[in-house]
Structures are given as structure tokens and as C-alpha cells.
């Protein structure tokens, strides 16, 4: 569809400005307009399948676990932990468990199911973005992504019409969040055990690597200007704002994961502010 917008915009630009070179400008602007109007499109009051997001998310999570070989006790424990994080009630938890088991079958129709969720949320790109992030977060629960998991995530990107480069950025940001949160958790544990020496320990433990991870959480390079850092922070917080995600159709069960992501973004931004000395 974005290709059609590119062609049409190119024709309109060349006709309106009476300049054939404007056709190529239109080819560049068209996809941008397509994405803008997609994000601005109103959300339907009653999605065709209100549980589709939850079921497909856990189906793909089960498929990811099976892709590594045999589904282990740790895989099941991590899936259960993810359900706890989402604060699912008994009914939704049973739905998630059944979905996880469906995703483990050998002939699981991955592309078909992804296409279903894409068709339901195709005009709500933020929801699809959050789906990708939450899937990566769940897959990262064991601390790493293997090649099979990366292949499946690339299939998700293909079915959602997300450039592979953009999916790679999502993965890098979530991996940085994982490492960043581990360090934050370590600092909090140390603080509770050694209150008097916490400030000295915090200064020592906040290494260059921790700062770099904070930048990666925001998806920016450490060398960028403060203005760019602030812009990236505001963009990410806007994309993960609970009220805005609900208005775009994100199921309320998935809001806890989105809130957790917002907290990670805020913590990374606060660390960068302290390191760079800006408000």
C-alpha cells in the first residue's frame, strides 16, 4: 500500500508543481504520508477478535520456545512468569496457557496467525510495535536470543511489514533494557544491604557500559546532542503512554508490560541526564 501512495504522490507532485523532478520527491514523501495517516486512523470500537493479541502473543512465545529444540521446564517457568507480570486473571491465564501450547505444535501456522493480527491492527502501528517489543522482551527472559529466535522475529517483521533494520533496532533496544535493568536491580539489592556505602558503590558500578546501555535503551548514540536525546525520550514515552495505547486498541491485559517498558525508558533517561548534567 505504501508503494501505491508513493506512485500517486509522485504523480500529484509532478502535475501540481509542473516539474518532473517532483515525481521523485513524491516517491519519498508518499510512504511518509501513508504511515502518518495510518497512525492517525481512528480505532474501531469493537475489534473483530478482542483476544487475538493475547492469544497470538503466547502462541508465538510457545513457538519461540519450541524452535530452540525441546521445550524445557525453564521455558514454561518463564512463560508463567510473563503471565504473572501481565497480572492475568484465571480466565485469561488459562487462555494464555492454551495459546502457548498451541504454538508448540510442529505445524503451527506462524505466518497465518501473524497475518491475522496484522490485519486487525494494521492501522494501529503503535500496537504492532508494542507487540514486537513485548515478544522480544519475553524471548529475552532467559538472557539471550539464539539464531532460531531471531529467524522467527524476522518473520514477524516480514508479516507486519516492518523493515528488518527496524526490527534489529527493536532487538538492540530491548537487549539493552534487559542489561540495564539487571544492573539497576543489582544496585537496588546493594542499596538495601549496604545503605551507608550505597552512593560510593553506585558511582563505581555506573560504568561506561551502563551508560552506553542507557543510550541504547533510547535508541541513540552516546555522541548525539542533548536535543536529540530529549526528542528520542519524548517519542518513546509518547509511543508507550498507556492511555494512548488503549485508545489505539492495545488490550488492557498487555498494559503492564507497556508500563514496565515506560519505566525502563524513564530510568535510562534519568541516568543519562545525571551523566550529561542536563535537566
Least confident of 29-43, 74-88, 176-190: 29-43
Q: Is the pLDDT of residue 29 over 90?
A: no
**Claim to verify: residue 98 and residue 198 sit in the same structural domain:** no
Query: pLDDT tens digit string along 191-211?
Result: 555 555 545 544 545 567 788
**Claim to verify: residue 57 and residue 152 sit in the same structural domain:** yes
Q: What is the predicted pLDDT for the residue at 199? A: 52
Q: State the residue for C-alpha cell 505444535.
A: 105
**For residue 166, is it within any domain?**
no
Q: At what angle do helices 125-139 and 255-276 cross, to 10 degrees?
A: 80
Q: What is the predicted pLDDT for the residue at 118? A: 94
d(CA 176, CA 227): 21
Query: pLDDT tens digit string along 213-253?
Result: 899 889 999 889 999 999 999 999 988 887 778 777 777 77
Q: pTM higher than 0.75, yes or no?
A: no
**For residue 215, is it within any domain?**
yes
**For residue 45, is it within any domain?**
no
**Claim to verify: residue 22 and residue 56 sit in the same structural domain:** no
Sign of CA dihedral 8, 11, 15, 20: positive
**Claim to verify: residue 144 and residue 185 sit in the same structural domain:** no
CA distances, 243 to each of 108, 120, 146 (Å): 34, 20, 34
**Claim to verify: residue 61 and residue 142 sit in the same structural domain:** yes
Average pLDDT over residues 167-196: 70
Q: Is the pLDDT of residue 263 over 80?
A: yes
Q: Is the pLDDT of residue 186 over 60?
A: no
d(CA 259, CA 142): 21
- Number of domains the chain contains: 3
Q: State which residues form the domain around 255.
A: 172-276
Q: Is the pLDDT of residue 71 over 90?
A: no
Q: What is the predicted pLDDT for the residue at 42? A: 47
Q: State the residue for C-alpha cell 560504568.
A: 207
d(CA 75, CA 136): 14
Structural domain ending residue among the three candidates 137, 161, 185:
161
Q: What is the predicted pLDDT for the residue at 165? A: 87
Cβ-contact 60, 138 below 8 angstroms: no
Query: pLDDT tens digit string along 53-68?
Result: 999 999 998 998 888 7
Sign of CA dihedral 128, 149, 216, 203: positive
Cβ-contact 6, 31 below 8 angstroms: yes
Q: 69-77: long-range contacts (C-beta < 8 A, 24 or more apart)?
A: 71/104, 74/142, 75/142
d(CA 180, CA 263): 12
Average predicted confidence (pLDDT) for the chain? 80
**For residue 88, is it within any domain?**
yes
Query: pLDDT tens digit string along 144-172?
Result: 788 888 899 999 999 999 998 888 888 88
Amino acid at each position: 500500500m505504501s508503494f501505491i501512495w508513493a506512485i500517486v504522490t509522485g504523480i500529484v507532485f509532478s502535475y501540481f508543481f509542473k516539474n518532473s523532478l517532483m515525481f521523485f520527491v513524491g516517491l519519498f514523501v508518499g510512504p511518509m504520508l501513508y504511515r502518518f495517516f495510518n497512525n492517525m486512523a481512528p480505532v474501531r470500537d469493537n475489534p473483530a477478535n478482542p483476544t487475538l493479541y493475547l492469544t497470538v502473543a503466547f502462541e508465538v512465545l510457545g513457538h519461540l520456545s519450541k524452535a530452540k529444540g525441546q521445550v524445557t521446564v525453564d521455558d514454561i517457568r518463564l512463560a508463567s512468569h510473563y503471565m504473572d507480570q501481565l497480572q492475568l486473571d484465571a480466565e485469561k491465564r488459562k487462555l494464555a496457557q492454551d495459546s502457548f501450547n498451541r504454538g508448540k505444535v510442529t505445524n503451527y501456522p506462524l505466518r497465518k496467525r501473524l497475518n491475522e493480527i496484522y490485519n486487525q491492527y494494521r492501522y494501529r502501528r503503535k500496537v504492532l510495535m508494542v507487540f514486537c517489543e513485548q515478544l522480544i522482551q519475553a524471548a529475552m527472559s532467559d538472557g539471550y536470543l539464539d539464531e532460531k529466535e531471531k529467524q522467527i522475529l524476522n518473520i514477524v517483521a516480514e508479516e507486519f511489514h516492518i523493515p528488518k533494520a527496524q526490527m534489529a533496532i527493536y532487538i538492540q533496544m530491548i537487549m539493552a533494557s534487559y542489561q540495564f535493568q539487571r544492573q539497576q536491580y543489582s544496585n537496588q539489592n546493594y542499596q538495601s544491604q549496604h545503605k551507608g556505602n550505597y552512593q560510593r558503590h553506585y558511582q563505581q558500578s555506573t560504568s561506561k557500559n551502563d551508560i552506553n546501555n542507557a543510550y541504547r535503551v533510547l535508541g541513540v548514540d552516546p555522541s548525539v546532542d542533548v536535543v536529540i536525546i530529549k526528542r528520542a525520550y519524548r517519542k518513546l514515552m509518547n509511543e508507550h503512554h498507556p492511555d494512548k495505547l488503549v485508545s489505539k486498541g492495545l488490550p488492557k491485559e498487555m498494559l503492564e508490560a507497556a508500563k514496565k517498558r515506560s519505566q525502563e525508558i524513564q530510568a535510562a533517561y534519568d541516568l543519562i541526564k545525571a551523566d550529561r548534567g542536563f535537566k
